[in-house]
Structure 1
Amino acid sequence: MVSGRVLTGFGARLLAGRGVPPANARYVAESAVLNEAAGVTTHGVVQFFYFDKQVGPVIDPSAEPKLVLDRSAVALVDGNGSFAQLAMRLAARIAAGKARRFGIGLVCVRNTSWLAGLGVKLLPLVRQGFFAELWAGSAFKYVAPFGGCEARLGTNPIAFGFPVPGRPPVICDFSTSTVARGRAGLMIHAGDRAPEKIFLDGRGRATDNSAVLEAGGSIMLLGGEHYGYKGFGLSLWVEALGLMAGNRYEPGRELRESFALMLINPAAFGEADFYSKEVNRFVEIIKGGRRRPGVKEIRLPGERSFRSLARSEGLGIFLSGETLARLNDLAARNGLKPISLKS
């Protein structure tokens, strides 16, 4: 186990060594570590390896996102070569202000880097009482359109959340493909096959073999071979939001990620007391239903991450031996103190 404080300090020193201002370095590192603590290991401290390659050559360490349009309930932010995490921080601040004033706030962000792990980024906003949606367009295309066999779409994740007063909020976070690229990458590395056919080879044949992604294959859309038209629609929506914000469709080009954040203020509808009682009653009915054989509980989206966050807070964050070794190799190459396990 390693404490979140140690991992955040490690990431902050890595980024500061690349010229990132200390406050920004710590904020970006905290974002990565929070994903790891929440159990989203495909989008957690692996970001440090991404930063090792990207900061300087691609991401401008000193750049800040810029507000380029501010009009009533909407705004547009340009990433300006900066970290997506900084653009998200700015977008969240703007959207929250607009939602408080107008009842709703929509901020689109263009020309940014990998945002990595959407759900935990909504958590502080939902805890403030907002309904929240986040749609992120991926510059790198690993997903074939429904009926096609060539990758033309990103995994294009989406997340949304809503408060449940007196309980943890509901936070959903998933790709519009059957599996995230990071998860598929772990399968390739381990030589694992998927539990069902969720990939297409280069000729469009369904397979459970993740290795086809390295030979011209692609990931199926959410819904799979027969119902992937559902994921297709969601993925197209994400891509269109990026186009609306002026983010050019240029597959594989760095800093061509985009995202859109929308916040709704439920107080604008004047039914706060009713909502608080009814959403709690609703959750109790959902969780209290009969379960399938072998299922211990009906778990709402986000519950697993909240439990992981609580464990990480008390016991530290679990890192595999391989991840720890990679981090310490990164430390050696960057003149940083190695990470040691928590006793």
Structure 2
Amino acid sequence: MQHGTLAPALARGLLKLKDRIDAAGIPSSCLDQTINIATWNIREFGKKPRSEAAIHYVAEILGQFDLISVVELRENLGDLKRVLDILGPEWRAVYSGVVPDDGGNGERIGFIFDRRAVGFQGMAAVAVPPRVKVGGEYLIQDRFWWRLPYMASFCAGSFEFILIAAHIRWGNGDTDRLAEIELLAQWIDVFRQSEQATTRDLIVVGDFNIPSRRSALFKAITRYGLHVPKALLADTFGSNLARNKRYDQILQYPSEAYPDSFADKGGVLDFHVSDALVGELFPPELFPTMTMDKYTYQLSDHLPLWIQVRTDDARAKLEAMAG
């Protein structure tokens, strides 16, 4: 991490943030053995330049993980570059283009990773629903996503996997979201069994706007076998600032060859803690007009959701070959 020389107030803010990071209990990853993966909706990241303090805080949070999926990454990548400069020369990003209409909201999906721990394997693409031939044309039928899911192939240790990220529309209620989630679940199920899938190990992440595991939306995304790793099953925390809604998800298909690929370690990184403590990160003497709404555009209205993944599956592969 290359924070450089900081003003005293910003240095104090980073120390407070580090205390909150320590409280999250995120275990260190181990080269070729484990990686920490996170998904984070960084609110409108890039729409307007963030303050110097916010950029340092975002970098510090991202730096706790090896691979992070970011939704609400906007068309302007200036703030992403500022964050990568702080993270250091070993950090890289791959990201989608934007859907230019209002439904796409000018958003990208990005994957930020530390190449010392995670290798990009070359495949990066958006999800495209099946097309039907109508006359002489191939057309997408009734359902589509407002923002296209994005995927990329990675490896860590001997573990190869595809990370698929989505940002499901908010809409006017659960009914608006349900069609997108059903389409995504169907698409992933077909994709993983196709030749396009370079590996059957898929990790599905993002902001699904699912309020809880008891909702019809959760049943829809898990209909074809995706499930929540054990470490994230508890309903005692959410990924919004109030920690009472699990809008963000990390899901996987069970791996017959390597069923223990997900460690029993995961949760949220609560950088917020309490509305009353906003001034610890954004002191009134430097941010006299700070409100909770402005705060969410400096950091976010979502917390990072994370999981630790075991990446040494060499023994499982040999056992499969040995029969």
TM interval, short-chain normalised: under 0.3
Greater helix fraction, Structure 1 or Structure 2: 1
TM-score, scaled relative to structure 2 = 0.26
